Chains A and B, each alone.
Chain A
Amino acid sequence: EPEVTQTPSHQVTQMGQEVILRCVPISNHLYFYWYRQILGQKVEFLVSFYNNEISEKSEIFDDQFSVERPDGSNFTLKIRSTKLEDSAMYFCASMRGSGNTIYFGEGSWLTVV
């Protein structure tokens, strides 16, 4: 069964450093998302991406964050200058089309020290 894959599974970074989280969505999917979850708490929407542009973003997704789909298969989330409060599990997700199920990856656990 196709699945969303994410790398790295865990990354520790120093405050102020740039981080790139990578995702390979399911191959025929058209909608892509990033969510985050702090310590087993609520899952929060960050950004959605469709047709090579951001379609919606939350207030969490400030100028520090960016997304890219550089090559038609990878979908990346960049955090330019990490803060302690960015420590969380980041989930990538994808959906084939309107009305379908959104499938999530296993997550990338980011620890900022």
Chain B
Amino acid sequence: AQSVAQPEDQVNVAEGNPLTVKCTYSVSGNPYLFWYVQYPNRGLQFLLKYITGDNLVKGSYGFEAEFNKSQTSFHLKKPSALVSDSALYFCAVRDDRGFQKLVFGTGTRLLVSP
């Protein structure tokens, strides 16, 4: 069975500083990994994904994530945080078999201070 761990409930960073939101995963087959962002009272917006290929994937709003197979991690990063990045971030995984439901982590709240 698939699972995702987001070890930090909240990450605080000052505007302009780099940010990292951590995610580790467990799947039986090959992992398909995703990051979604949720702003207050809104839906889940797709940020980026890793399916295959380069371990560093780039996504929307300047975010990127690095797939590390040996550490089973897929941390979300951004070189310079903006106050508007403050939101709830979800890592999700599915494997390449079955009907491909996404399994989500518990979410990490990112707070970027001015």
Contacts and interface: CB of A to CB of B under 8 A. Distances in A.
A91 B88 contact: no
A93 B94 CA distance: 15
Interface residues of B, number: 26
B89 to A, nearest CB: 12
Interface residues of A, number: 26
Interface in A41-72: 41-45, 48, 50, 55-56
A31 interface: yes
B88 A104 contact: no
Contacts of A109: 41
A99 interface: yes
Main DSSP-derived SS at the A contact region: strand
B99 A50 contact: yes
B36 A33 contact: no
Contacts of B43: 91, 104-107
Interface in A80-97: 91, 93, 95
B34 interface: yes
Interface of A: 31, 33, 35, 40-45, 48, 50, 55-56, 91, 93, 95, 98-99, 101-107, 109
Interface of B: 32, 34, 36, 38, 41-46, 49, 51, 88, 90, 92, 96, 98-107
Sorted nearest first, the 4 A-B pairs with minimum C-beta distance are: A55-B99, A106-B43, A104-B44, A43-B104
Given A56-B98, A101-B46, A101-B49, 6 more contacts: A40-B88, A44-B104, A50-B99, A95-B100, A102-B46, A106-B42
